[in-house]
Amino acid sequence: MNREPRHTMDGKAFRKIRQQLDLSMDSFAIELGYEGNLNSNRTTMKRFETGERPIPLPVAKLAWLLGQHGIPSAWPAGLEAVLQDSTDVRAST
């Protein structure tokens, strides 16, 4: 089975969402789940926006959702624990 990564958003649309949300590259990276430092976050976002690096499907989906609904003022209580539990389950299978 050939598992080619799917990319559904171009850099121009990605940048437009970031600008619509009025976020810096670093802030947008953090909202998308990147945990790097300022330089690595900015570099990753710049590569996505310029098309130098394809935008992974999960990142494109989350960017689109944030563009449609905005940044939540607070994530649901306990979300981090739920996400961590689902990661632990997948790692042990």
Q: How many CB atoms lie within 10 A of CB 16?
A: 15
Q: How many CB atoms lie within 10 A of CB 32?
A: 21
Using the 8-state DSSP alphabet, how is residue 21 labeled? T
pLDDT at 63 over 90: yes
CATH number of domain containing 49? 1.10.260
Residue 79 domain-assigned? yes
Place 7 in a pLDDT band, splitting at 50, 70 and 90. low
Select the more confidently predicted residue: 79 or 25: 25
Residue 38 domain-assigned? yes
**Overall domain count for the chain:** 1
CA distance 51 to 14: 10
**Domain around 18:** 11-92
pLDDT in tens, 34-50: 988 999 999 999 999 99
pLDDT on residue 28: 95
Residue 4 domain-assigned? no
